[in-house]
Structure 1
Amino acid sequence: MRAAGVTEFGGPEALHMVDVEPEPLGPGQVRLQVQAAAVAPTDTHARSGAYAGRDPFKTPPWVPGMDVAGIVTEVGEGVDHLAVGDLAMGIVVPMGPHGAYREDKVLSGNSVVRAPRGATAIEACTLPMNGLTARMALDRMALQPGQVLAVTGSAGAFGGFVVQLAKADGLTVVADASEADEQLVRDLGADVVVRRGDDVAARIRELYPDGVDGLADGAVQSELVLAAVKDGGAMATVRGYKGNGERGLRALPNQVARAAEDRAALDRLRQQVEDGVLTLRVARTFPAEQAADAHRLLEAGGIRGRIVLTF
């Protein structure tokens, strides 16, 4: 079985095609013939060895990837929401050779749902990980309709989904953007756009002197943006930042692996794509054999939409 992975951790050049063992199918599981796998910053960290200490597999190869889409080729006993031949998408918790960058993938049936109607595999694979993380961030902050949410990194994949989901939840959204991205962020539904940067908290406070009710920190600015949030407010983070314990702020790190088998949440995201609430954005595709080039492009920054590997 072919996969794009590493046999030694390192830079993008460490990625190459490797052979991996087929995964057996058990009860409650689904097998996909992979057509597309999205590339995320988490994948670049995995490739470099940042998560090696957490991985139970101590021998290579290691295969990155958390988003996958393809054709269902087999379903295990007890799976009744998918059928052979369906185009489906899923979220992967990568361990050792079992990441998403492989041409055949077995997952828990609760990690896989139908692709949104009308979406290609390339488009569908951009939704699971970022969509579930955005949903988790909003659910944990538990803001009420009419409250104000700030979003940093709003032009990115996670931030863009937060903006759209927050609007669907009835929140007022103030989002950051560069001048070049301002129209994109407005099109995603932001009510107010402020210029991005290290001083974004001050810009938000100019508009909301008491601070915003919550903030989703897609730009991973951590302590730089705490000041934007009102006393006792909430801040959702994506890289483990837990706040400074001041002003009663609730800093809420989000680990999407905890939602990897929340089929109802993933299927709700699918429905919201079909309803036009969420937009699937693809920046560029690469054949899996060019995974190293895909990682180089992502790490260079400035990408709007997801980079996708195709099989």
Structure 2
Amino acid sequence: MVVARGAHWLIPRDTNLAAEVRAQIPNGADAAIDAAARGIPTLNAVRNRGQLVSIAPGTAPTPLRGTTVHNLWIAGDPHQLAHLSTLAEEGTITARVAETYPLEKAELAHERLTAGGLRGRLVLVP
């Protein structure tokens, strides 16, 4: 999906992130956005004195090798959420849903989330 949207290459989740990035960019990436809460593996893919932005609370690693690490917390914006909803309705963007659970099985959903390895989000259905 990301290659179809213009990415030059894709690194599969189950590979060594830093090694794969450095195979394409020997000194490492200038910057990275860690939206998957990987922490150190993402930082290891960034060059010396590069930058990392972590968007999951509590997952920003300690800066190493002169890097700068930013922790950016995302806040809900009703106008942007309405726009995203419109894009989803049009089929311009799609959500990757791993599994759905009835609300009364939220505990099972939490256990599944904690187990890791998901490709997509868990959805609770009231």
TM-score by length of 2: 0.72
- What pairs with 1:218-233 in structure 2 (closer than 5 Å)? 218-233=35-50
How many Å apart are 1:198 and its aligned residue? Answer: 7.0
In our comparison, the structure showing a higher alpha carbon Rg is 1
When residues 213 and 269 of structure 1 are mapped into structure 2, their CA distance, relative to the original with a 3 A threshold, is farther
Using a 3 Å threshold, how does the CA distance of structure 1 residues 233 and 273 change in structure 2: closer, same or farther? farther
CA drift at 1:208? 0.8
Provide the rounded CA distance (Å) in 2 between the counterparts of 1:280 and 1:196.
18
Gaps of 5+ in 2: none
TM-aligned CA distance change 1:270 to 1:213, over 3 Å: farther
Contact 1:294/1:307 (CA < 8 Å) preserved in 2?
yes
2:70 to 240, 246, 252: 252
Match of 1:307 in 2: 122
Matched with 1:3 is none
- What aligned pairs does 1:8-47 form with structure 2 within 5 A after superposition? none
Match of 2:82 in 1: 267
Q: Secondary structure at the match of 1:204?
A: helix
1:234 to 12, 30, 51: 51
In the alignment of these two chains, the number of paired residues is: 124
What one-letter code is carried by the residue in structure 2 that aligns with 1:246?
R
Deviation at 1:223, TM superposition (A): 2.3
Say if 1:226 and 1:283 are closer, same or farther in 2 by CA, change over 3 A. Answer: closer
Q: In the alignment, is the contact (CA less than 8 A) between 1:285 and 1:307 conserved in 2?
A: yes
1:140-185 CA-partner distances (Å, limit 9, x unpaired): xxxxxxxxxxxxxxxxxxxxxxxxxxxxxxxxxxxxxxxxxxxx66
Q: CA deviation at 1:234?
A: 2.3
Q: How far does residue 292 in structure 1 lie from its aligned partner after superposition? A: 1.7
**Counterpart of 2:32 in 1: which secondary structure?**
strand
User: Does residue 58 of structure 2 align to residue 243 of structure 1?
Assistant: no
The alignment yields a C-alpha RMSD, in angstroms, of 2.8
- The answer (yes or no) to whether the contact 1:272–1:278 under 8 Å persists in 2 is yes
The 3 A distance-change label for structure 1 pair 202 and 274 is same
Change (3 A) 1:250 1:265: farther
Taking the aligned partners of 2:111 and 2:5, their CA distance within structure 1 comes to 27
Higher relative contact order, chain-length normalized (CA < 8 Å, sep 6+): 1
What is the identity percentage for the equivalent residue pairs of Structure 1 and Structure 2? 34
1:227 is matched by which residue type in structure 2? Answer: N
TM-aligned CA deviation for residue 291 of structure 1: 1.6
Q: Is the 8 A contact 2:40 2:61 kept in 1?
A: no
CA contact (8 A) 1:198 1:224 kept: no
TM-score normalised by structure 1 residue count: 0.34
Residue type of the partner of 2:98?
Answer: A
Structure 1: 5+ residue stretches without partners: 1-183
Q: CA deviation at 1:302?
A: 2.8
Would the aligned equivalents of 1:242 and 1:252 in 2 still touch at CA under 8 Å? no
